[in-house]
Structure 1
């Protein structure tokens, strides 16, 4: 039996190859950033003071942009490499890949809506508007939290079982190139 780096990582009962383990490991820092986002958004949502809503939203906006700078490359590795490789076996129009792509799209739409609506804030942003804008971030948080869990417990183990050793090595190579 030939040694493969895919035998090194371990996820419960399923060992993940290097590339799949990398994708899973990327969730840790993303989860930390995502938690900071939702904490800031919930502070806005729970605030009843006549605080400086614009300043609070701009702070949240900076954190969202930083998060997106880390989320986008991760999503590109999944959408551009992993999903097409898996789709050869399980299809793309329904099932797990369709769900994953839909959730990526929904999270991105919420984040884009927040960024678009906070690009040119007036100095007189009211609390109700601020809370509505913060809800986009809270919604994205919930979508991504569930999404990461599905990837870690369903999609990545499924990929480990579906992909051949050669495909796993190609996956690792293509991810490294991105």
Structure 2
């Protein structure tokens, strides 16, 4: 049955070790925070009539900060532990690790830019400025949505196949310390 699935282009389900499973499970709460942030940003971009742009940007800012607070340690577990372990096998300059690090950087840059630009908002904010700021958040959302999918469907299964049992234990131990 498995062979049939694979020949038809399906992907074999891979049971992940404890460390990889933890990283995958962390995506759930991050997705919820990311979704809330995205919805707030979309409301700002899509609203033609509203006038309280500053208040709405401050609410969005709180949502972005909540995501970043949870996202940073997750990223550190990946960048500081998983990626270097995998890089021993597949390198870091090109390929999956390079892509994952690039996507981390792109999402973080957009979120940081939004937070910097909204740290001291003027008393009045016009619709165009509010929409431009919210669009940075929307771009970060899209990067992270695709990124999580790639990790869950490609990177984590690849790591499960590449890493030795000892490395998997080390992975779980090290990410537990972050």
TM-score by length of 2: 0.93
Rounded Cα–Cα distance in structure 2 between residues aligned with 1:91 and 1:44: 41
* Deviation >4 Å, runs of 4+: none
- Does residue 51 of structure 1 match 2:51? yes
Task: Report how far residue 12 of structure 1 moved.
Answer: 5.7
Q: Where do residues 25-174 of structure 1 align in structure 2 (5 Å cutoff)?
A: 25-174=25-174
Moved more, 99-108 or 41-50: 41-50
Rounded Cα–Cα distance in structure 2 between residues aligned with 1:43 and 1:137: 12
Q: 1:92-130: per-residue Cα shift (whole Å, max 9, x none)?
A: 000000000000000001001100110110111000000
Rounded Cα–Cα distance in structure 2 between residues aligned with 1:71 and 1:40: 18
Task: Report how far residue 90 of structure 1 moved.
Answer: 0.2
SS of 1:111's partner is: helix
Unmatched 5+ stretches in structure 1: 1-10
- Equivalent position of 2:7 in the other structure: none
Unmatched 5+ stretches in structure 2: 1-10
Rounded Cα–Cα distance in structure 1 between residues aligned with 2:65 and 2:32: 15
Rounded Cα–Cα distance in structure 1 between residues aligned with 2:31 and 2:50: 31
Report how many aligned residue pairs link the two structures: 168
